[in-house]
């Protein structure tokens, strides 16, 4: 990874997350809110809740998508569940892609461009607010185009599997470090896992800031 965004703050936070995890969704929303109050340096890293799920087959999927009409694509979306940072009731019903490796690969591309926060927000909105499929090329492309990433460069990179080794290495490195679920936060040298409350998160960040 060449570029890591948002690392100019004074309080370092490493967060391991998965897009399909409701606690990750809420926790990252809170971190985004707290970044307006505190000088945070947020490093988002992939953690796979389903590491053994079948991986996406890009070419097969892309050819199938090309044959679908706009109305068919639109009808494939599911109802919204929750805005960013809110408590979702459950994971979107009938999520077609069990693997989140591809969307983490796309996020890694955005991270190298210093745009992983923006990309995360767009993809999370697609999933939690619109019920879009995380493994759909259309979902990834919509998010990329909306924030100004060059899809013409991004697509061949994803198709080649360039970021897949990094995503898998980050996941297993987290497991070896003792991360057993998502989200997990490393704040001030201390690990916090699961549904950390907003007040507890703020207190941990403030404590880390005062210990510098």
pLDDT tens, 170-183? Answer: 999 999 999 999 99
Helix (H, G, I), strand (E, B) or coil at 17: strand
* 16-81+91-168+177-206 homologous superfamily: Glutaredoxin (3.40.30.10)
- The pLDDT value given to residue 41: 92
What predicted TM-score, i.e. pTM, was given to this entire model? 0.79
Both tokens assigned to 7 = 């690392």
* pLDDT for 96: 61
Q: What's residue 87's pLDDT?
A: 52
Helix, strand or coil, per DSSP, at residue 154: helix
Domain boundaries, the chain: 16-81+91-168+177-206
The whole-number pLDDT of residue 16 equals 98
Q: How many CB atoms lie within 10 A of CB 181?
A: 15
Query: pLDDT below 70 — which residues of the chain?
Result: 1-9, 56-96, 212
Judge whether 109 and 3 are in contact, CB under 8 Å.
no
Task: State how far the Cα of 120 lies from the Cα of 69, in Å rounded to an integer.
Answer: 27
Q: What is the pLDDT of residue 86?
A: 52
Q: For residues 107 and 109, what is the distance between their CA atoms, to the nearest angstrom? A: 5
Sheet holding 11-17, edge to edge: 40-46, 11-17, 184-187, 190-193
Q: What is the pLDDT of residue 59?
A: 44
- The DSSP symbol for 43 reads E
* pLDDT given at position 56: 63
- Interatomic CA distance for residues 164 and 189, integer angstroms: 28
Separation of alpha carbons 15 and 191, rounded Å = 10
Contact (Cβ atoms closer than 8 angstroms) between residue 187 and residue 25: no
What is residue 34's three-state secondary structure?
Answer: helix
Return d(Cα 89, Cα 46) in angstroms, integer.
23
* Residues 157, 109 contacting (CB under 8 angstroms): yes
Q: With CA atoms as reference, report the closest residue to 62 among 118, 94, 102.
A: 102
Of 164, 160, 50, 156, whose CA–CA distance to 107 is shortest?
164
């Amino acid at each position: 990874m060449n570029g890591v965004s948002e690392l100019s703050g004074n309080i370092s936070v490493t967060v391991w997350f998965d897009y399909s995890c409701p606690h990750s969704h809420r926790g990252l929303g809170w971190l985004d809110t707290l970044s307006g109050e505190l000088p945070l340096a947020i490093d988002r890293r992939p953690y796979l809740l389903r590491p053994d799920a079948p991986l996406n087959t890009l070419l097969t999927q892309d050819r199938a998508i090309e044959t679908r009409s706009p109305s068919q694509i639109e009808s494939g979306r599911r109802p919204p569940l929750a805005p960013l940072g809110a408590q979702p009731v459950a994971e979107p019903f009938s999520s077609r892609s069990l693997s989140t490796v591809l969307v983490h690969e796309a996020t890694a591309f955005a991270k190298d461009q210093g745009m992983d926060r923006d990309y995360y927000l767009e993809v999370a909105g697609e999933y939690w607010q619109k019920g879009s499929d995380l493994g759909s090329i259309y979902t990834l492309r919509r998010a990329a185009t909306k924030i100004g990433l060059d899809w013409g460069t991004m697509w061949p990179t994803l198709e080649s599997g360039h970021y897949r080794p990094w995503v898998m290495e980050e996941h297993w490195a987290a497991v070896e470090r003792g991360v057993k679920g998502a989200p997990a936060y490393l704040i001030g040298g201390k690990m916090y896992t699961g549904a950390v409350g907003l007040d507890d998160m703020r207190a941990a960040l403030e404590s880390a800031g005062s210990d510098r």
